[in-house]
Structure 1
Amino acid sequence: MRTPWLALFFGIPTLVVSATHSIPDKHPTKESSSDLICHDINCYSKHFVPTNEFQTIHDDQVVPPGLHYRLNVETGLKEAKINVASDSDDDHTGVVVIPNKDEEAAIIDSPKPIPRAPISPDGAIKPPLPSSAGEALAFSDSLEVLLKHSKYSTSEITHALLSLEDLVHEIYWGLQVSAPKYVSPLLTLVSNSPDPTIRSTAALVIGSALSNNPKALASATSDSSVKLIRTLLSSLEKETDNNAKARILYALNQAIKSPITRAEFLTRQGLQTLHQLFKNGDSEFIGKSAIVIEDNFLNEDMRSDAEVMKKQGGSTHFNPARDGIDERKFCSLFEDTLLESTEKGIDNDVQEKIFSALSALKRKHHGHAECKSTDDFLLWLDTQADLGGRLYGDVEGEGDQQLKLMAFDNRDLFP
């Protein structure tokens, strides 16, 4: 009878994959000296000899088929033992989570097909079922490259990062990569790698791991020695490659999804940095910047989070005179950018993002002197909001008219 999924525990994650039914010889012949592999004084058999206990597999060993593989995600070590009939069936894969290394692994059978349920009733994140043993081992290998990236080539590092990025969209893998021991080398690559592709991809891994994953964000910021916000901001300021800059901004956007990290962003003059970079950014960066500002500082949910933090004694107070630029400075910057959108080659999609953020600013700071519109902008807005005598529904059905409809809907916000 198969053990139910309720036997899972959340702790140091270890993944076990049942490969096949075949059982290797339990009593292999003795190896000759020519079959030994030696690194300095450390020697071991060229052929991995499985037993009934898990043993570490070295990367240059020949491994027989039909074993039980175990991957400790925290250490990155691959282990295997003899696969016996009670360990696996033809139709399923076994997954085990071990609270700590001293406890014995309990195999949990799961028939196919099984829907993924990443969150258990108690809120713990369950490990997903891997599509193959190779996927789990690729994850381990990629983490090893990340931890020792100075020993690997540019192409090897890039390959490892792309492999991680492909997996971390799963909240379980995103949580593993967001451990401080992995975030630290990722930030090093973002800030110091001479290759823009590596800088860009490392930032993408961080952003993807943190996206919609509050536990991952909490993990990434749990060690004060890992300067997540500070490093992303400084990297954003000095980045010269447009693609890398956009992805660092993406990572930063995901990193400031909690009241504490948003407060740090503000006190480190994050808005001032965005204000300056916005002026000289390309179309993609301008659009993403507008989204970052609206989502994190003008969104009602985010503002409510900050109020809760204040009531609980958290430090979220932002003093523009002390900590940098006031968000209201973006009113004139957004308006000027919209007026110059044709000359700057800004397409309708980006204009919509800017106008959406501008409208949110007007809504939040309605009537404030720093958000007073110029006559030139009001003339542009009136032109956009003019439906030409047509009905709203007719314009809406034409397509590619979102900016005009947004101007019509929000005209009253601009006195």
Structure 2
Amino acid sequence: MSHWAGLLSTAAKVNLLVLVVSVVFSWSSLSDRVPEFALTKIEENDIKDDSRKELITEDDADPEDLEVFYPTHQWQTIRPGQAVPAGSHVRLNLQTGDREAKLPDSENGRNLIAGLRVDVDSNLFTSQELKKALAKMKESEKAERKAHEEEVRKKFRPIEQLKEEFEKLNVKMETDYEIMVKLISKFNSSASTLDEKVAALYDLEYYVHQVDNAKDFLSIGGLQLVIDGLNSTEAVLKEHAAFVLGAALSSNPKIQIEAIEGGALQKLLVILATEQPLAVKKKALFALSSMLRHFPYAQQQFLKLGGLQVLRSLFRQKGMETLHVRVVTLLYDLIVEKVRSQEGGDGTRPEKIQQYRQVKLVPAVVEQDWCVVVSNLLAMPEHDTREKVLKTVGVLMAFCKERFRGDPTLSTTLSLLRSEYEELAAEEQREGDKDGYFKELLGSVNTIIQELR
């Protein structure tokens, strides 16, 4: 009996020794805990009290950190709402009813989570340290931006300072109205030289392009002065006066009405009908075109004053070849404008449609044999010129078909153009341009040939 008691006493001592060793190793393992898979390293003095227990609560922790569970090698309770990294070991504690998780078993200081080998680094930063670093970066950016602003301020003076300096220098910013008043005064002054008057007109042309400036130009008497300038004995003054007039007339109905009432139409036709330098006639034709476009009353007066005959005479004058395409383009625009007004698809008012009906433009074109005049221009070598003439021939086709059919020269010209543009269009296609410029011209030529058959 004493023998068995001795054995039991010896066994108890061995068990006690094993238990102590186990506790020591367990305590050593707990003391070596290193947070894994986290951007924070929690300091010992922050997480332990005198009883060596964790004291961090939800109120003390960073709200962003509460959303992620940071596993270690020891089992830890998973709080509600925390996301557990893939690959972590998860269990249910039957004694407490809590879900717990830890890192998988390690090998050579490395952990395998979600199929990735991750190095354990105990020198990680806490979230507070990262926030401080980010704050320092922002402060650095602000400092750099402020330094840049200071550098810019040193290079450029503030607008208030510039205004003060301008006032000291007696410099005044003038309005367009004030500038035009001075230019008109200079143009109208007998004390101004020819060059000064030309310079004044040149500057005025820039300002009157704007609709509001053109109205002011009218109100201060500039329009009539420019119209009167068309009678000047100096060709250069007539040229620039017509230039200013054309700029003011462009898309400005009020100026168009005032100009025709001021006698501008008659003066422009006189310039075009008499012997004048090419530059003068070019500007006069520009002003005439600006007056006639979208103004049916002016178109009526133009026909009554023999305007078509005046333009027709330009084709008989030497040295005026550059004006031929401009005349044909104007003719094309006026015919298309009238046709569209009759269709009523361009939003034209009923009273204006009635005015267009009184413009007998097409009968005058046919009567004065403009059909031949236009078709003869197809022999010109420039593709741009041919394009405009082809469009005009297409518009005149409804009125000039019989005249076109009876013109052998036109038939020959069209055949030559078709051959030329077939080659150019084929070359375009070889270069990858399937819908090129020459293919479009070829289409226009083929359409006209087809309609004349």
Unaligned 5+ segments in structure 2 are 1-161
- Partner residue of 1:104? none
1:174-185 matches, within 5 Å, as 174-178=214-218, 181-185=221-225
Residue of 313, 334, 338 corresponding to 2:374: 334
Q: Determine if contact 1:207/1:254 at 8 Å carries over to the other structure.
A: yes
1:314, distance to aligned residue in structure 2 (A): 8.3
> In the superposition, relative to structure 1, how do residues 277 and 366 fare at CA in structure 2: closer, same or farther (>3 Å)?
closer
1:2-401 matches, within 5 Å, as 20=163, 65=170, 132-133=173-174, 135-146=176-187, 148-178=188-218, 181-190=221-230, 192-221=231-260, 224=261, 226-257=262-293, 258-280=295-317, 282-299=320-337, 300-301=339-340, 308-309=350-351, 312=354, 316-318=358-360, 326=366, 329-339=369-379, 341=380, 347-362=382-397, 364-365=398-399, 367=401, 369-386=402-419, 387-388=422-423, 394=429
Q: Aligned letter for 1:175?
A: K
What is the SS of the residue equivalent to 2:314?
helix
1:140, distance to aligned residue in structure 2 (A): 1.5
- TM-score between both structures, scaled by the size of structure 2: 0.53
Deviations 1:54-82 (A, max 9, x none): xxxxxxxxx97377xxxxxxxxxxxxxxx
What is the SS of the residue equivalent to 1:273?
helix
> In the superposition, relative to structure 1, how do residues 230 and 372 fare at CA in structure 2: closer, same or farther (>3 Å)?
farther
1:293, distance to aligned residue in structure 2 (A): 0.4
> In the superposition, relative to structure 1, how do residues 193 and 255 fare at CA in structure 2: closer, same or farther (>3 Å)?
same
Q: Distance in 1 between matches of 2:388 and 2:423?
A: 24
Q: Determine if contact 1:283/1:350 at 8 Å carries over to the other structure.
A: no
Q: Aligned letter for 1:301?
A: R
1:413, distance to aligned residue in structure 2 (A): 3.5
> In the superposition, relative to structure 1, how do residues 215 and 240 fare at CA in structure 2: closer, same or farther (>3 Å)?
same
Q: Distance in 2 between matches of 1:198 and 1:337?
A: 32
Q: Aligned letter for 2:310?
A: T
Aligned residues: 281
1:144, distance to aligned residue in structure 2 (A): 1.4
Q: Distance in 2 between matches of 1:333 and 1:180?
A: 43
> In the superposition, relative to structure 1, how do residues 230 and 169 fare at CA in structure 2: closer, same or farther (>3 Å)?
same
1:349, distance to aligned residue in structure 2 (A): 1.9
1:337, distance to aligned residue in structure 2 (A): 3.0
Deviations 1:112-163 (A, max 9, x none): xxxxxxxxxxxxxxxxxxxx427553322112134x2544221011111011
- TM-score between both structures, scaled by the size of structure 1: 0.58
Q: Distance in 2 between matches of 1:220 and 1:260?
A: 12
Q: Determine if contact 2:387/2:441 at 8 Å carries over to the other structure.
A: yes
Q: Determine if contact 2:366/2:400 at 8 Å carries over to the other structure.
A: no
CA RMSD of aligned residues (A): 3.6
Matched, 1:406 2:438: no
> In the superposition, relative to structure 1, how do residues 327 and 153 fare at CA in structure 2: closer, same or farther (>3 Å)?
farther
Q: Determine if contact 1:142/1:161 at 8 Å carries over to the other structure.
A: yes
1:355, distance to aligned residue in structure 2 (A): 2.4
What is the SS of the residue equivalent to 2:316?
helix
Deviations 1:279-313 (A, max 9, x none): 33533201110111011123333556899457657
Q: Aligned letter for 2:309?
A: Q
Q: Determine if contact 1:203/1:248 at 8 Å carries over to the other structure.
A: yes
1:240, distance to aligned residue in structure 2 (A): 2.0
Q: Distance in 1 between matches of 2:427 and 2:252?
A: 39
- Among all aligned residue pairs of Structure 1 and Structure 2, give the percentage whose two residues are the same amino acid: 18
Q: Determine if contact 1:335/1:377 at 8 Å carries over to the other structure.
A: yes
> In the superposition, relative to structure 1, how do residues 269 and 380 fare at CA in structure 2: closer, same or farther (>3 Å)?
same
Q: Distance in 2 between matches of 1:142 and 1:406?
A: 48
- Partner residue of 1:74? none
Q: Distance in 1 between matches of 2:372 and 2:224?
A: 38
1:269, distance to aligned residue in structure 2 (A): 1.1
Q: By percentage of residues, which structure has more helix? A: 2
> In the superposition, relative to structure 1, how do residues 188 and 382 fare at CA in structure 2: closer, same or farther (>3 Å)?
same
What is the SS of the residue equivalent to 1:365?
helix
Q: Aligned letter for 1:154?
A: L
Larger radius of gyration: 2
Greater mean alpha carbon deviation, residues 329-338 or residues 380-389: 380-389
Q: Give the number of the structure with larger relative contact order, counting CA–CA contacts within 8 Å between residues 6 or more apart.
A: 1
Q: Aligned letter for 2:417?
A: Q
> In the superposition, relative to structure 1, how do residues 397 and 195 fare at CA in structure 2: closer, same or farther (>3 Å)?
farther
Q: Distance in 2 between matches of 1:389 and 1:155?
A: 49
> In the superposition, relative to structure 1, how do residues 227 and 284 fare at CA in structure 2: closer, same or farther (>3 Å)?
same
